[in-house]
Amino acid sequence: MTISSLSRAVAAEFAPQTIYLNTSTCGLLPRRAVDAVKTLVDENASGLRDGSGDFGAVNRAREGFARLAGVGAGRVAVGGSVAAHVGLIASSLPPGAEVLSPEGEFSSVVSPFAVRGDLKMRYVPLEELADAVRLGTALVAFSSVQSADGRRADLDAVRAAAADNGARTLLDATQSAGWLPLDAGAYDYTVTGGFKYLLCPRGTSFLTVTEEAQEGLVPVYAGMAAAEDRWNSTYGPVTELASDARRYDEPPAFLAYHGAEHSLALIHEIGIDTLHAHATGLADRFRSGLAALGHTAVPADTAVVAVPGLGDRAPELQRAGVLVAGRAGNLRASFHLYNTEADVDRALDVLAG
């Protein structure tokens, strides 16, 4: 996609009233997704719909994510949050199993394991993660991009180390899916919250599971949504669960998924390569400008820029109409398709005083 066609696509879908550099917290909703949610709200309010939503929209969102993740739709389960997906995986581990994660990992990725109390949790610096995998490690649970500072994990090295030691892998792609290519089939499990770089309403989250990993994963959310024949599974225990990863579906939040199918369609129209070049190009411009101001950003080849020690300046930027985040003491700016070079320069002007 050319720069001019990208600009037209963005203008048709977004009209931010701030300089919004905060997608790592929550992405902006495209107009088409907003319209779909409003339509369903009106139908639910007026009694024009038989039921609160459409499983067809859920399945189209599932298929849209599957295309982005490089797997078949039968490998994707839908739900409401990363924490719920991780909790499903945590419930399947035997007592005493070792879970290895980076220090400072996002809480949704590690807390469902930690709260069990009978698993062995081990944390190491991100750059040491691959070397820390050992015989007896049951699972390596980590994010492709760290929420606090935008650092990227060495995905190839972690996968290789896990394979050499018989460990399974759980990748959280929430901070990368949408601007960084995702090969979900390379991991036993992936979890992805849809409300950040995938631009979906909050309440959309996707789990991928390899066929081998499905063997030990108990579908603890089983209800009619997870049944092979939903509408003949409304009463009594479900007698036949879906034959694929849909058996792990949570009951979907229809409002969120009615919007999600359209958000994911937009991501496909723009293209991951285009999004990657645009977002990381703006992030590089911001890093260069920060350096000129005497600030050193955390080294990272990502769409997320974190500056240690400047987290307390986030309110100042917000007062100037520039939305960023303060995370773990860092000033964190994150870039997506609705951002421009002018946005970067305005943020730098505010920081320069």
For 204-254, write each residue's pLDDT tens digit: 999 999 999 998 899 999 999 999 998 899 999 999 999 999 999 999 999
Handedness of CA 117, 162, 197, 333 (dihedral sign): positive
Residues 146 and 236 in one domain: yes
Is residue 40 one of the residues assigned to a domain?
A: no
pLDDT of residue 101 exceeding 80, the answer is yes
Task: Please state the domain count of the chain.
Answer: 2
Domain-located, residue 57: yes
Domain final residue pick, 268, 294, 329: 268
Q: Cα separation of 117 and 146, whole Å?
A: 25
Check whether residue 146 and residue 253 sit in a common domain: yes
Rg of the chain on CA atoms, in Å: 21
- Report pLDDT for 50: 84
Residue ending a domain, among 250, 268, 286, is: 268
One domain for residues 220 and 142: yes
Q: Average pLDDT, stretch 290-313?
A: 96
Q: What is the CATH number of the domain that holds 61?
A: 3.40.640.10
CA distance 163 to 157: 10
In a domain, 38, yes or no: no
One domain, residues 56 and 187 = yes
What pLDDT, on the 0 to 100 scale, is given for residue 206?
Answer: 98
Residue 35 lies in a domain: no
3-class SS of residue 211: helix
Co-location of 198 and 177 in the same domain: yes
Q: Are residues 309 and 251 in the same domain?
A: no
Degrees to nearest 5, angle at CA 286 with 282 and 291: 150
Domain with 205 in it? 46-268
Q: Does the residue 161 lie in any domain?
A: yes
Residue 225 belongs to some domain of the structure: yes
Which of 40-54, 80-94, 318-332 has the least mean pLDDT?
40-54
Whether the predicted pLDDT of 7 surpasses 90: no
Same domain, 276 and 190: no
Same domain for 135 and 122, yes or no, is yes
Q: Which CATH number does the domain housing residue 300 bear?
A: 3.90.1150.10
283 and 235 housed in the same domain:
no
SS3 for 253-308 is CHHHHHHHHHHHHHHHHHCHHHHHHHHHHHHHHHHHHHHHCCCCCCCCCCCEEEEE
Same domain, 188 and 276: no
- Identify whether 37 is part of a domain: no
Backbone angles phi, psi at 323, to 5 degrees: -95, 115
Binned at pLDDT 50, 70 and 90, residue 272 comes out as very high
Cα–Cα distances (Å) from 112 to 92, 116, 307, in that order, read: 11, 7, 29
- pTM, 2 dp: 0.96
Lowest mean pLDDT among 9-13, 34-38, 159-163, 314-318: 9-13
CA dist 260 → 4, 13, 31, 298 (Å): 25, 14, 12, 32
Residue 307 has pLDDT above 90, yes or no: yes
For residues 203 and 252, give the distance between their C-alpha atoms in angstroms, rounded to a whole number.
8
Structural domain includes residue 331 = yes
Q: Are both 111 and 160 inside the same structural domain?
A: yes
Boundary residue ending a domain (268, 300, 332): 268
CB 109 within 8 A of CB 143: yes
Q: Do 244 and 292 belong together in one domain? A: no
Average pLDDT, the chain: 96
d(CA 325, CA 24): 9
